[in-house]
Structure 1
Amino acid sequence: MEKKRSFPKFLSITLIILVVVGAFIGWKAYQTFIGPSVTDKEEFFYVHTNDTYDLVLARLKSQGIVKHPDLFDFAAKKMDYPNSVKAGRYKLIPGMSNRRLIGNLRGGYQEAVKFRFANVRLKESFAALLGNSFEADSTKFNDILNNEAVAEQYGFTTDNFFSMFVPNTYDIYWNTSPDKIVARFHNEYKKFWTDERKQKAQAVNLTPIEVSTLASIVKGEALHVDEMPKIAGLYLNRLRKGMLLQADPTVIFANNDFTIRRVLNRHLTIDNPYNTYRYKGLPPGPIMMPSIASIDAVLNPTDHDYIYMCAEADFSGYHAFAVTVAEHQVNARKFQKALDERNIKK
């Protein structure tokens, strides 16, 4: 009987080694390109303008973005990412593979910032908000907001430039330059001022810029949105009669003291064009960023004969309105008494 030939032992060992090596290479390739790599330590990864690949890799390591930076480095070089670094704000999903992360980084597939702003009082505060939300720092934004040439380019002055920024939520890429961000806001401003709104502005004998200036005063006075049209109607009545607006929020702005709770005679003496107790008409620009609600209140004012108002003595945030000085003085005494009882002296 013929004896069966046995498989050479060295070939068996070689085959086992090849299988093990192949499995290891396959596992390593999986870990390098396809396996979960991104950690849950950060929600976004920021690549700055002019960053080199070495800076990006160093930041990935220091922030613990990926589990194995050496594997990321290998994959990135294989995918030619070092020659395709693009600035941006990139969304990180825990468990994301190196291949997907690198693909996003290399392709510049960033996620826009949902930039929302409201209740901004001063330009420097808005600049700080922009600087905290985008790549450029607040100084660059502040320079633009106070640049006369830029303001004139868009049809404004540095005093009323603030009215071009309509509070809302905007999707803007993180590394967008300040000048392009401002241009975006101008486009949104033009969209906001529809033909209907422009016609309503004409009906109250104001330009869109003047509407925004008055709206900032209305917003400064009103704690309740539902009272804004009534307050707007009062100030429009005063403008039509050629009366001083005598708006306390403008006095507070003129004094640059936003801790004032009780406007006193000494506050009214300041010689400042924003002091509507001394200067007739609207101030040179908004005293704060007007809200959409306050703008629409000026465009859709309540029709009444009131020319005086005073905060209600119950501190509800609403106002007592009056047609005559006598009526107003009664309301004012009630409020002053309420202030005294609460020991509010300034």
Structure 2
Amino acid sequence: MNTKKILAIVSVVGIVIASIIGVYVYIKAFTPNTQFSQEEVFVYIPSDANYELVKEIVSPLVADFEKFDFVATSRNYSTNVKSGKFLFKKDMTSFDMVRSLRLNVPVTVAFNNQETLEKLMQRLATQLEPDTTALFEAFTNAAFLEEKRLTSATALTLFIPNTYEFYWNTSAKKMAKKMAKEHTKFWNTERLAKAEALNMTPAQVYTLASIVHKETVKADERPRVAGAYLNRIQQDMPLQADPTIIYALKEKSGDFDQIIKRVGGSNLFVKSPYNTYINKGLPPGPIAMPDISAIDAVLNAEKHNYIYFCADPNRPGYHAFETTYEAHMVNAKKYAEWVTKLGIKL
């Protein structure tokens, strides 16, 4: 057999072997290999995870793990695991899944209406990798609070309610830095100037806004309510804000899930720094996370002479405002009779 024939045979054999290998690799890497019925699922890989842990997490989603393992090993994923949130789609190939495990998907985080920092941390912990303890420590450690000129009571003021994007595996410390940056962005030159004109710090504006927020759900009424509270402050009157009594009662009991619809009687004398009936000025910190509309309502409060207000039975959700105590008591009596008729008790 001459050399040409030998080379021809070797070439044919090589082609056959290459074809077999190609088919083998194709089957391993480029054929559908998922076993879930949903159109897509998210995979969460913890920080510092190794490939063994990844196997445990993705195995229930993979039809033939040997195929997945072949691709993960050949593409060096098994020695270079990434943490985060990753997207798997139905009928993905092993190649697609391994590639997807390198593409961290951002998490949209939204928060509002939280009454305490603890409750906010619990909510965030359901959306991100850090647990409640790690998050709470990041936002309340002494060094961080001192740097941001906050206290444990005003730490909640760092959070401006909005929608933000984080990676699921963002550390608690990095999240604290991110929220501090967003806080600085929100308190721009214009807002800071308006706060200064009120002789208030951003934390104090936020605290008053939390009371305004709880006092009325009507955004168009908030500037008027804010104006009434600012008038009381200017006249050295106690704020006498019912929402602060509710907060004080909840804090004293340790139960922030309870529903308190009406305050009065002995409740008005509950011993608490948050009781604005017996303590003048603002409470130590916010009683809730206010909407941005409430913050801006304080900064752009309506200028008027109103001092008193109470819920208006004739305009549900709104209040009746007065400049004198005598006129206010007339409105207060109407409101008391109305809630009693509805069967709402203290």
Q: Find the aligned partners of 2:243 and 2:151 in 1 and give their Cα distance.
A: 21
Q: Identity over aligned residues, as a percent?
A: 39
Confirm or deny that 1:324 pairs with 2:320.
Answer: no
Provide Cα deviations, 1:115-173, integer angstroms capped at 9, x if missing partner: 11111111111011111111111122223344333222221011111001111111111
How far did 1:315 drift? 6.7
Q: Find the aligned partners of 2:89 and 2:266 in 1 and give their Cα distance.
A: 58
The residue number in structure 2 matching 1:201 is: 195
Provide Cα deviations, 1:16-71, integer angstroms capped at 9, x if missing partner: 9x96x876654442232223334454521111112110110121113x2x222110
Confirm or deny that 1:35 pairs with 2:31.
Answer: yes
Q: 1:117 is aligned with what amino acid?
A: F
2:221 alignment partner, SS class = helix
The residue number in structure 2 matching 1:11 is: none
2:108–2:165 CA contact under 8 A, matched in 1: yes
Provide Cα deviations, 1:65-97, integer angstroms capped at 9, x if missing partner: x22211001111111111101111112222333
Q: Find the aligned partners of 2:210 and 2:265 in 1 and give their Cα distance.
A: 23
Q: Find the aligned partners of 1:61 and 1:179 in 2 and give their Cα distance.
A: 32
Confirm or deny that 1:98 pairs with 2:94.
Answer: yes
How far did 1:182 drift? 0.8
Matches within 5 A, 1:64-143: 64=61, 66-105=62-101, 108-143=102-137
Matches within 5 A, 1:43-54: 43-54=41-52
Q: 1:153 is aligned with what amino acid?
A: E
1:164–1:186 CA contact under 8 A, matched in 2: yes
2:227–2:303 CA contact under 8 A, matched in 1: yes
Q: 1:135 is aligned with what amino acid?
A: E
Greater mean alpha carbon deviation, residues 137-146 or residues 210-219: 137-146
1:40–1:93 CA contact under 8 A, matched in 2: no
Q: Find the aligned partners of 1:149 and 1:267 in 2 and give their Cα distance.
A: 37
The residue number in structure 2 matching 1:265 is: 265
Provide Cα deviations, 1:308-346, integer angstroms capped at 9, x if missing partner: 110112471111111111111111111100111111112
Greater mean alpha carbon deviation, residues 191-200 or residues 262-271: 262-271
Confirm or deny that 1:147 pairs with 2:130.
Answer: no
The residue number in structure 2 matching 1:223 is: 217
1:133 alignment partner, SS class = coil
The residue number in structure 1 matching 2:274 is: 274
How far did 1:281 drift? 0.5
The residue number in structure 2 matching 1:188 is: 182
Q: Find the aligned partners of 2:323 and 2:23 in 1 and give their Cα distance.
A: 84
The residue number in structure 1 matching 2:308 is: 308
Provide Cα deviations, 1:258-288, integer angstroms capped at 9, x if missing partner: 4211111211111211100011011111011
How far did 1:302 drift? 1.2
Q: Find the aligned partners of 1:23 and 1:312 in 2 and give their Cα distance.
A: 83
Q: Find the aligned partners of 1:47 and 1:324 in 2 and give their Cα distance.
A: 63
Cα root mean square deviation, aligned: 2.0
Q: Find the aligned partners of 1:253 and 1:236 in 2 and give their Cα distance.
A: 20
Q: Find the aligned partners of 1:153 and 1:48 in 2 and give their Cα distance.
A: 30
Pick one of 130, 153, 164 that aligns with 1:159. Answer: 153
Normalising by the residue count of structure 2, what TM-score does the alignment of the two structures yield?
A: 0.89
1:163–1:290 CA contact under 8 A, matched in 2: no
Q: Relative to structure 1, is the Cα distance of residues 84 and 40 closer, same or farther in structure 2, using a 3 angstrom cutoff?
A: farther
Q: Relative to structure 1, is the Cα distance of residues 83 and 277 closer, same or farther in structure 2, using a 3 angstrom cutoff?
A: same
Normalising by the residue count of structure 1, what TM-score does the alignment of the two structures yield?
A: 0.89
Equivalenced residue count is: 326
Q: Find the aligned partners of 2:215 and 2:55 in 1 and give their Cα distance.
A: 52
2:46–2:169 CA contact under 8 A, matched in 1: yes
2:88–2:100 CA contact under 8 A, matched in 1: no
Q: Relative to structure 1, is the Cα distance of residues 246 and 77 closer, same or farther in structure 2, using a 3 angstrom cutoff?
A: same
Greater mean alpha carbon deviation, residues 149-158 or residues 175-184: 149-158
1:61–1:69 CA contact under 8 A, matched in 2: yes
1:46 alignment partner, SS class = strand
Provide Cα deviations, 1:278-307, integer angstroms capped at 9, x if missing partner: 110111110111221110111111111111
